[in-house]
Amino acid sequence: MTTRQPSDPTAHRDPALDGLRGIAVMLVFFFHYGGGLKSPHLAIRLFGYFSSSGWIGVVVFFTLSGFLITGSLWDSRGNQHWRRNFYTRRLLRIFPLYYTALALSALGLIVAWRNVHLVWPFAIYVFFLQNLPRLEDLVQSIPTPLSLYHLWSMAVEEQFYLLWPLLLLTVRSRRGAFWLSLWTFAVSAAFRIAIYGLPLVSGQVAYSFRDFLLVHAGAFALGAYLAIAWRGPEKALIERLAMPAFFVGLALYLFSSLSSHSFMLISNLQFVLGLPAFSLAAAAAIALLLRNGVPRSLCSTAPLRFIGRISYGFYVFHILLQPTYSSITRHLTHSNSDQRYLVTKLILAFSATLLISWISFHLLELPFLRLKRHFPMKPPVAIE
């Protein structure tokens, strides 16, 4: 006998976690469209400092992926075709929009340069290899009028989706999965220390590893740890420690930022301390949102849920169309650097990306998401 699956592909989406996605993608948006660090106006400078920390939105996405994917895999283990269903569901979620973006960018390059031979480096994007050292610099030099430099995070995500289910197959108990998560976090930390914390690697080589999977695996691992612990006796302890852990992680990130004189992920200290510290804060935030309370209520508001629901398209299009937004803004303001230009570009980019992402979700993504009902996995864990 088969279980009837709901026709709505978002039926099991947690509203607070959707809101967290909305916050994460907005942080990334302001990171790319903010500015004003050199402004004489205090309010604008403060906004500039806030926006320069927006890279942490990607850390939130990685941690949330680790939590949701691990929970779904663990709850579905032993079910018939669970591995096939998992990989098929990831394909249906990621591939349609991702490859559409690649096709639009390649088409833009051909139209702009009238040279089809320039598209060969797109093969690196096709196979999600753009975050690897050496290859990353190659793809970022592609002269396309539609930017793809932000898709390094998609490569990290896909590599995690490919490898993590295979690693989970090596453990037979919840305790084994628990320790696998912690060891993965430790290996990621050791790798970052070896690359960024020891005077053994040149600065140029270290910089080339900034988007490597092992650098960011700790964020996924903390999300995975939370998913496994949430299903065992550790849940009560995590609920008690979530709030202190959030503020400790945030404080350590702020310490590393102030010590580095930058909120961006550019210093060795940020890689060694700031990145894992905010990964801890992100995992703690997820734990806080899984129980009833003020944080859950705030993140469950309609505007954040709406942006979170279309966050994948918002993430892809806000950079894909960035050169177009810049060109339109220069035409409107007759400038390319002053405060009026920056504000106009921010408003234009947000409004247009929101609209395009909503259209993309309904016309491109949702038809494929509906097919996921044929490949069932257990829904995300619910709050009590």
Q: Residue 324 carries which side chain, given as an amino acid letter?
A: T
Domain assignment present for 139 = yes
Q: Which range in 76-80, 136-140, 369-373 is most confidently predicted, on average pLDDT?
A: 369-373
Domain assignment present for 1 = no
Domain assignment present for 146 = yes
CA distance 173 to 144: 48
Count: domains in the chain: 1
Give the residue, 4 or 340, on which the prediction is more confident. Answer: 340
Whether the Cβ atoms of residue 225 and residue 280 lie closer than 8 Å to each other: no
Domain assignment present for 7 = no
State pLDDT tens for residues 45-66: 787 888 999 999 999 999 999 9
Q: What is the dihedral of CA 262, 267, 270, 272, to 10 degrees?
A: -170
What confidence category does residue 13 fall into, taking pLDDT thresholds of 50, 70 and 90? confident
State pLDDT tens for residues 219-258: 999 999 999 999 999 999 999 999 999 999 999 999 999 9
What confidence category does residue 136 fall into, taking pLDDT thresholds of 50, 70 and 90? confident
pLDDT mean over 108-116 = 92
Nearest to 282 by CA among 168, 185, 174: 185
- Our measurement of the distance from residue 49's CA atom to the centroid of its chain's CA atoms, rounded to an integer in Å, reads 21
Using CB atoms within 10 A of its CB, is residue 164 exposed (0-12), middle (13-18) or buried (19+)?
A: buried
Using CB atoms within 10 A of its CB, is residue 83 exposed (0-12), middle (13-18) or buried (19+)?
A: middle
Whether the Cβ atoms of residue 319 and residue 150 lie closer than 8 Å to each other: yes
CA distance 278 to 218: 11
Residue 43 has pLDDT above 80, yes or no: no
pLDDT mean over 103-114 = 95
What confidence category does residue 384 fall into, taking pLDDT thresholds of 50, 70 and 90? very low
What confidence category does residue 5 fall into, taking pLDDT thresholds of 50, 70 and 90? very low
Domain assignment present for 153 = yes
Domain assignment present for 121 = yes
State pLDDT tens for residues 299-311: 999 999 999 999 9
Domain assignment present for 234 = yes
Domain assignment present for 35 = yes
Residue 1 has pLDDT above 50, yes or no: no
CA distance 361 to 356: 9
- Its pTM surpasses 0.95: no
What confidence category does residue 336 fall into, taking pLDDT thresholds of 50, 70 and 90? confident
Q: What is the pLDDT of residue 158?
A: 97
Q: What is the pLDDT of residue 379?
A: 55
Q: Residue 191 is part of which domain span?
A: 15-374
Place of tokens 């669970």: 82
